[in-house]
Structure 1
Amino acid sequence: MKIALLGYGRMGKEIEKIALQRGHEIVIKTSGKETYDITTANVAIDFSVPSSAYNNISNCINHKVPVISGTTGWLEKYNEIVDLCNDKKGAFIYASNFSLGVNVFFELNKQLAKMMNTLEQYNISLEEIHHTKKLDAPSGTAITLAEGIIENSNKKNWELEKITSEENIPITAIRTPDVPGTHTVTYSSDIDTIDIKHTAHNRQGFALGAVIAAEWLHNKTGVYTMRDVLNLG
């Protein structure tokens, strides 16, 4: 495939390595200021910044180029992109985290939330740790985990750091140098504690998942998720 990399930071460079290893060609590499013709690509991978993601994605859809996005912090416009994609018969995947292991972790998190929902003696919390250059907090992955719990429990919302209601899930966001991403879901009582945790050792897992998603989306139309890519549904 001919791939456009919309966002050529650390993730973009890691994706480039994986894509080339898998026999693909990188035809566009942009960090936001360059001009380019998106129609030269078979598929686009967006790992840009929140202020650029919407324009990148809509440009791809308008030109019928399948696009996957791992950029977080722009999701207030997600439904607009879904509507545009359906209207233009485009192809789109958004994931807060493309790591194959994390997407399995998302499913495990949902199942655990169902099992713990009736055990009122347990308090739930989330913690995420990332490198200091990460722009948003909490991470998109932590938000996805919180949403998975909310869908399968009596929790109503999430809050960063301190909670104002027991119906909400507290998320702690820690920034420290050179941490690709660690997420922990904790159920704690006076008697014991249950933790499930995912630790990324490097960015290769994110990059591999993004390329696999791009391969899967090629020649398709519609709005999908990593659950579709990995057949987890």
Structure 2
Amino acid sequence: MKAAIIGYGKMGREIEQILKERGHETALIIDTDNAAELDAAHLTETDVAIEFTTPQTAYDNIRTCLEAGTAVVSGTTGWTGRLPELQALCRERGGAMFYASNYCLGVNLLFRLNRELAAMIERLHATYDVRIKEIHHTQKKDAPSGTAITLAEGVIGNLTTKRTWVNYAPGIECAANRTEDPAAAAPEQLVISSVREGTVPGTHTVSYESEDDVLELRHTIKNRRTLALGAVVAAEFLCGRKGVFGMEDLMQ
């Protein structure tokens, strides 16, 4: 497999190393200093592009790949309001696209467990409030994390007492759906608390609390390697396929 790496920060370097370990070739590396080289001519020699950049650049990067006929795997978060546009373009062009908010296998197991737990609580008509807390390193600028949003959507899709989410993110300027006072959130709002500290790769906790007990689901990533490995495995899966895919497809 010949891969293009779009975004050559810490994740990009981890991806490069894993590609090498798994016998693949890094045919193209795109970063801020050569962003203009992300075009059809340079993508010609690649089978798949793996994109981890910024919320401001992800849409254009992925669109360029799809328009060039290059399969693309993306893990950039904080921009996915426009994801359906690119999924539609992918289908229109007969291309291949894989998107996930988190490529860690354990996190995707957490997604599934969280959905099942919310559905079980709904069936039992049990009275639990739900809150989510996510902690990431200080270099992560968007909030809440894509993983936290996916967890919130898993609750909202299965528990009728929660209809929307709001984000409590003190000190994070670009927080979406911000609330300044989580205690003032309406009962139907699920509060996501975002914390940025140190070099934490990512910790997510979903808390279900009643008057009598607390039930928590928690996942902690030890290092970025698990994310990079998942992205490379997704790229291997995507090669030769057409359509729009995600981790649910990979884990079947």
TM-score by length of 1: 0.96
Q: C-alpha deviations, 1:107-161, integer Å up to 9, x for none?
A: 0110011112244432110000000000101100000000011111111111012
Is 2:167 the partner of 1:160?
yes
AA aligned to 2:246 is T
CA–CA separation in structure 2 for the residues paired with 1:137 and 1:180: 14
AA aligned to 2:143 is A
Report the count of equivalent residues.
231
2:64 aligns with: 59
Q: C-alpha deviations, 1:133-191, integer Å up to 9, x for none?
A: 00101100000000011111111111012253111110110111110000000011232
1:71 aligns with: 76
1:94 aligns with: 99
- SS of 2:78's equivalent in the other structure is coil
State whether residues 11 and 224 of structure 2, in contact with CA within 8 Å, keep that contact through their aligned partners in structure 1: yes
1:221 aligns with: 242
CA–CA separation in structure 1 for the residues paired with 2:127 and 2:115: 19
State whether residues 124 and 185 of structure 1, in contact with CA within 8 Å, keep that contact through their aligned partners in structure 2: yes
CA–CA separation in structure 2 for the residues paired with 1:197 and 1:6: 30
AA aligned to 2:209 is S
Equivalent residue runs for 1:1-233 within 5 Å: 1-34=1-34, 35-36=36-37, 37-117=42-122, 118-154=124-160, 155-161=162-168, 162=182, 164-231=185-252
**Once superposed, what is the RMSD of the aligned Cα atoms?**
1.1
2:172 aligns with: none
AA aligned to 2:85 is E
AA aligned to 1:143 is I
In structure 2, list runs of 5 or more residues that go unmatched: 169-181
TM-score by length of 2: 0.89
- SS of 2:32's equivalent in the other structure is coil
Percent same amino acid among aligned pairs? 46
- Greater Cα offset, 199-208 or 112-121: 112-121
- SS of 1:73's equivalent in the other structure is coil
